[in-house]
Each structure stands twice: as structure tokens, then as C-alpha cells.
Amino acid sequence: MARKVLIVEDETNIAELLHLYLEKEGFETAVAPDGGKGVELFRSFQPDLVLLDIMLPVMDGWSVLKKIRENDRTPVIMLTAKGETDDKVNGLEMGADDYIVKPFEMKEVLARIHAVLRRFGEEETGEKKLSFDKLVINLDSYELLVDGKRVDTPPKELELLFHLASSPNRVFTRNQLLDEVWGFDYFGDSRTVDVHIKRLREKLEGVSEQWCLKTVWGVGYKFEVNAANG
């Protein structure tokens, strides 16, 4: 069965180019010319992936992404004419899976789509639940249980924690985390990782002496497990 891609793009020539190219590559596509229609089509078309422009009429890309992320983890690749780091950080923090700056090569778009779908498929089929003292990280239900209580956690925060905790005591650089959790080429600004770690710490500080989120100065972060208890 063909994978379905929803294209939310108001520039007719770009939308048509994406539609024709992806259909030729075997994808089934639907095109929305504005953000409002994008949200409607997302619900009815049920795509496997969304290509989402940021500058849209009716409802901008950020608002569409927020709507999608309320109840759904379908991969979203942002399309934009803006290349500023702040936009990339914003998109990452809101749960975008990748980011392509216009003008782009169609081969790049296709490569990114395949990479994101592959990564998403690996997440779907891999081990999805980790348990430690007073901590359960469950990617099946996207739940974080701290000392038996469910703690509201945005998807990317949970994925970051899961990734770190999957390899206890292994140090990850910010570069690696951006690449392995967000699937982004490193773009020289690690603020998004630091922000997510800070928010996780606020939820996990002092819960257990058997593990902690630790900063390795000058290198990155690790989920440290006490060998005596671990």
C-alpha cells in the first residue's frame, strides 16, 4: 500500500511540483492550500507524513503543527523560506521531525522523507518501555510515570529521555542528540537540547538516588545509573 503524504503549501507551483514528484515516486498525496484546510485534510486523509509550510494563510504552520501534536505523532517536515536558527529551534521544540529550507532540491526532499519514515518505523517497532527506580518511560502510550504518578511531558522531551536512558551511563554530545532524537543535521545551536534537558530535570530532580540526568561538562549529557543500585 502506498505511503500517504499531506502537502500543506500555499505556493501553487511548489505544491504542484511536490505532488507530481512524490506521486511519481509511488506516494499517494493530498494538497492543502492553507493551514485550516491542512488540519481538515490531516484528519480525513490520515497521512503517514506531513510536509508543512510555515508561512500559510488562515492558520500558520506553527499552529497546524500544534494542532497535529495535540493527539498525534505523525512525522512532520517543516518547509520554509526562512533559514534562521531560531525558526529551527522553535520547530524542533514544538515537535517537528525535520526542517527543509527553500529553495530545495526534490532529491533532498525525498531523502528526508525516507529518513524520517525509516526513523519513525524504527521507533514503532523497537523496545518502547524502560523502568528504573520510581521511573517508567513508556513510548507506547507516550507516558512518563514519576514515583507512580503520570507527569505530562511533550513528545520530544520523552523521546530524549528514552534515548538517554536506553544507554545508561553513555555520554551523548548535543550534536548526537540532535541527530539521533530529532534527526537533524547539526546546525551549530544546541539550545534546544539544553532547554529540553532543563525541563526534564525540573520533573525528575531528587526523585531517586539510583539515577540522574547528568551534565558532562564540555561534552554533553548522560542518564547516570548508580552501579551499586542499578
What does R_g of the chain's alpha carbons equal in angstroms? 19
* Annotated domain spans of the chain: 4-124, 127-225
Residue 13 in this model has a pLDDT that exceeds 90: yes
- According to the model, what pLDDT value does residue 228 have? 52
Q: Where residue 22 falls among pLDDT bands split at 50, 70, 90?
A: very high
Beta-strand relationship, 49-53 and 76-80: parallel
- Output the CA angle 38-78-152, nearest 5 degrees: 85
- According to the model, what pLDDT value does residue 47 have? 96
37-55 per-position pLDDT tens digit: 999 999 999 999 999 999 9
Distance in angstroms (rounded) separating the CA atoms of residues 164 and 153: 16
Residues 6+ apart with CB under 8 A from 63: 35
49-97 per-position pLDDT tens digit: 999 999 999 999 999 999 999 888 899 999 987 666 666 677 777 788 8
Residue 31 in this model has a pLDDT that exceeds 70: yes
Q: Is 149 helix (H, G, I), strand (E, B) or coil?
A: strand
Residue 2 in this model has a pLDDT that exceeds 60: yes
Least confident piece of the model among 34-43, 160-169, 175-184, 204-213: 175-184
Please state which architecture CATH assigns to domain 4-124: 3-Layer(aba) Sandwich (3.40)
Distance in angstroms (rounded) separating the CA atoms of residues 28 and 14: 17
For 23, 45, 78, 139, 165, the CA distances from 105, given in Å and listed in that order, are 16, 26, 15, 34, 37
Q: Where residue 154 falls among pLDDT bands split at 50, 70, 90?
A: confident
DSSP 135-189: EEEETTTTEEEETTEEE---HHHHHHHHHHHHSTT--EEHHHHIIIII-PPP-S-
Q: Where residue 123 falls among pLDDT bands split at 50, 70, 90?
A: low
Q: Where residue 10 falls among pLDDT bands split at 50, 70, 90?
A: very high
- According to the model, what pLDDT value does residue 230 have? 40
Helix runs in 51-105, H state only: 61-71, 85-93
Query: Which of 3-7, 99-103, 117-121, 129-133 shows the highest mean pLDDT?
Result: 3-7
Average pLDDT, the chain: 87
Distance in angstroms (rounded) separating the CA atoms of residues 34 and 189: 30
Determine contact, residues 50/68, Cβ cutoff 8 Å.
yes
Asked if 4-124 and 127-225 have one fold, the answer is no
Q: Where residue 186 falls among pLDDT bands split at 50, 70, 90?
A: very low
Please state which architecture CATH assigns to domain 127-225: Orthogonal Bundle (1.10)
- According to the model, what pLDDT value does residue 229 have? 45
Residue 141 in this model has a pLDDT that exceeds 90: no
Determine contact, residues 216/169, Cβ cutoff 8 Å.
no
How many Cα neighbours within 13 Å face the side chain of 157? 19
